Amino acid sequence: MTTATRLRAALMDRIIENGGLTEPEWIGAARAVPREMFARSFFLALPGTVPTRYRPVREGEPGWLEAVYSDGTLITQLDGRLRPDDVTGEVTGSPSSSSTLPSLVLSMWQRLRAEAGHRVLEIGTGTGYSTALGAHRFGDSSLTSIEYDPVVGGAAATALKEAGSAPRLIIGDGLRGDPDGGPYDRLIATCSVRYVPLPWLHQVRPGGKILLTLSGWSYAHALALLDVTGPGEATGRFLPGTTSFMIARPHDRPPRPALALLPGDERPSRIDPAKLDDWTGGWVAQLAAPSAERLGAGAEQVLWDVSTGSQARTARAPGGGWTVVQRGPVRLWDRVERAVQRWQAAGEPHQEAFGLTVSAAGQRVWLGSEAGPGWNLPI
Ligand SMILES: C[S@@+](CC[C@H](N)C(=O)[O-])C[C@H]1O[C@@H](n2cnc3c(N)ncnc32)[C@H](O)[C@@H]1O
């Protein structure tokens, strides 16, 4: 047994023990697919650095194989261009491609509830590791995977070939789906989206399923499993846990200048701003003000909508409680406050209490039931 095979078996045993890998077919795939072939080099974050600094790690270096078989995400590209093989020293940047942590990849595949014979579309090939797992489980001819970045997609194609896997690979914008390849039974996205791209709802057949992570410009995320109910229509609920994925490149927020806090109208805040640091509280705020980016934390939150110049910022009030200063045409804190109060009135449930319905009328996230309070996604 090679060191890689031994480390892989040990990692999968740990994931099984923690309840993250239960289905025999996926256990077989997880034990067979060599992650080391999809992560020959990556960036490791240096703990405690702000902004985060990364050092490149390459095949054969001390710690390389141990990191490959840790249950961690391995960053393989920064800022949409920088690869580990391009640098020698430490670097900073924003992760733009990675091999997602194996336990999450495997739980996503299991949650998709795809069966043998299904045609599956994956968005976000990345390193190709999740693609290789899917191809092992369903067979090459059942799986198509789309990657936006040609360099990333090229490296994944090479790795898949070396690993003996040959699914259909496309370089392009996965938000457009695969117009020539449908209909699909399942769609799984390993990059997140601000709203459900309409082509997906036409390329997955009615009765099919879509597993996606909703995200936004305030960096909040929520995993949802949708049933496609008709052409262009779907409904489903958000799932337990705290899943996040990097945002699909065309859905990323526009570039912005450095933050300058400007004067505005001040009043007391009706909610504790720190509620936005809660996993679901921050997501509810993002639903209410989808054009805003959230900066700050705790009592001192900052919401900034660059397209309208609207800002809101909170602070602790000297006599107790909190204040908010708002300026611009969109009263960001008014919206966030109302949404958070509705969530609080429902007992501050986790995202599992929410659902999403997509129809010709729009895309609406609701709380409790379709008749409950809701927020339209920014399509
Ligand atoms: C988290 S990584 C994918 C992880 C991958 N499934 C794995 O296991 O290695 C997300 C990937 O989505 C890609 N991506 C971003 N926007 C995309 C889009 N519009 N269409 C297709 N891929 C996209 C990124 O370039 C990145 O490689």
Ligand 1 site, residue 191, Cβ cutoff 6 A: yes
Distance 329 CA to ligand 1 centre (A): 35
Ligand 1 centre and the CA of 166: distance in Å? Answer: 18
Q: How confident is the model at residue 55 (pLDDT cuts 50, 70, 90)?
A: very high
Of the candidates 332, 275, 322, the one whose C-alpha atom is nearest the C-alpha of residue 302 is: 332
338: confidence class by pLDDT, cuts 50, 70, 90: very high
CA-based R_g, the chain, Å: 22
| pLDDT tier, 150 (very low <50, low <70, confident <90, very high otherwise) | very high
Average pLDDT over residues 27-49: 97
pLDDT class of 235 with cuts at 50, 70, 90: very high
Whether residue 147 has its Cβ less than 6 Å from ligand 1: yes
Q: What is the model's pLDDT at position 164? A: 98
Å from CA of 7 to ligand 1 middle: 26
Q: What is the pLDDT at residue 50? A: 93
Spatial CB neighbours of 178, under 8 Å, sequence gap ≥ 6: 121, 144, 146, 170, 184, 203
Mutate to test the pocket of ligand 1, among 36, 120, 245, 249 (most ligand atoms within 8 A of CB): 249
Q: Is the CB of 123 under 6 A from ligand 1?
A: yes
Q: What is the distance between the alpha carbons of residues 287 and 285, in angstroms, rounded to a whole number? A: 5
**pLDDT confidence band for 158 (50 / 70 / 90):** very high
pLDDT tens-digit map of 168-219: 999 999 999 999 999 999 999 999 999 999 999 999 999 999 999 999 999 9
Q: Class for domain 107-250, per CATH?
A: alpha beta
| 245-288 confidence digits (pLDDT tens) | 999 999 999 989 999 999 999 999 999 999 999 999 999 999 99
Name the average pLDDT for the chain.
97
Query: Using CA positions, which residue lies closest to atom 15 of ligand 1?
Result: 248
Count helices and strands (H / E) in the chain. Answer: 9, 20
Strand partners, 213: 223
Given the structure tokens 């949404």, which residue do they identify? 339
Residue 1 binned pLDDT confidence (cut-offs 50, 70, 90): confident
Q: Where are the domains of the chain?
A: 3-99, 107-250
**Residue 178, pLDDT score:** 98
State if residue 130 touches ligand 1 by the CB under 6 angstroms criterion: yes
Helix, strand, or coil here: 264? Answer: coil
Q: Which residue lies with its CA nearest to atom 26 of ligand 1?
A: 97
Angle in degrees, CA 55, 60, 62, rounded to 5: 60
The DSSP symbol for 247 reads B
pLDDT digits (tens, 9 = 90+) for 282-311: 999 999 999 999 999 999 999 999 989 999
- Express each pLDDT in 98-140 by its tens digit: 999 999 999 999 999 999 999 999 999 999 999 999 999 999 9
Q: How far is the CA of 153 from the centre of ligand 1 (A)?
A: 9
Q: How far is the CA of 251 from the centre of ligand 1 (A)?
A: 12
Q: Cα–Cα distances in Å, from 110 out to 27, 68, 96, 102, 144?
A: 10, 22, 25, 12, 17
Of all protein residues, whose CA lies closest to atom 24 belonging to ligand 1? 97
Ligand 1 pocket: which of 74, 190, 221, 245 to mutate (most atoms within 8 A of CB): 190
Nearest CA-CA partner of 4 in 76, 75, 68: 68
